[in-house]
Amino acid sequence: MAKIEQPTDEYRRLLDNVIEAEPEEFEFRGKTRKMGWLHKGPVRKVSHVTSKETSPYTQHRKVCAILLLNNVWKIRAFYWLLWRWWYYISDLDEVDILKVLDAGKKKVQREAFLLNTMLLTAMTDLMMTMTKEEAESIQAAHPGAEPSR
């Protein structure tokens, strides 16, 4: 039987960083950057860009700019310039974008949002209720279900 060993100091530091919600450090274009929790304004802007932008090349640069700015006021002031700089002049590398997206996906507070969504779904009165015929037809459509009589 294998002997269970204590985790190394590196893993302990990583666990402590996750528990304390410290900003994550990553390298972007040769410089070390930090990314804290994403605010709801930038998360909304990322959703807007991903739904509207058709070119993945442009979309990646726009999302990267939003994640690095991570503030509504910084986005309003510098977003338009930053993504165009990376798109037209600087030719941002996809590996650098990957590092930003990897750090950004860890900093979205999804658990509370998803829990709130699940709890509120049952409380709304806007959900459409099915008639008896609709419910029976859906039950009959499931594979392995007995046909309704």
Note whether 105 and 97 are within 8 A (CB). Answer: no
Domain boundaries, the chain: 10-113
By the 10 Å C-beta count (0-12 exposed, 13-18 middle, 19+ buried), 74 is classed as middle
Question: What confidence tens digit (pLDDT) does each residue in 12-58 have?
Answer: 887 777 677 778 888 999 899 988 888 888 888 988 998 899 999 99
Residue 69 token pair: 């700015």
pLDDT band at 6 (very low <50, low <70, confident <90, very high): confident
DSSP H stretches of helix in the chain: 9-20, 40-52, 56-69, 72-84, 94-105, 110-121, 132-141
**Res 101: pLDDT:** 87
3 vs 104: CA distance, rounded Å: 36
Terminal-residue alpha carbon distance, the chain: 58
Note whether 71 and 40 are within 8 A (CB). Answer: no
For the chain, give percent helix, strand, coil, nearest 5: 60, 5, 30
pLDDT band at 88 (very low <50, low <70, confident <90, very high): very high
Report phi then psi at 98, rounded to 5.
Answer: -60, -40
Total Cβ atoms within 10 A of residue 137? 12
Note whether 65 and 90 are within 8 A (CB). Answer: no
Question: What confidence tens digit (pLDDT) does each residue in 62-73 have?
Answer: 999 999 999 899
The helix (run of H) or strand (run of E) holding residue 43 is helix 40-52
Note whether 102 and 65 are within 8 A (CB). Answer: no
* Average pLDDT over the chain, rounded to an integer: 82
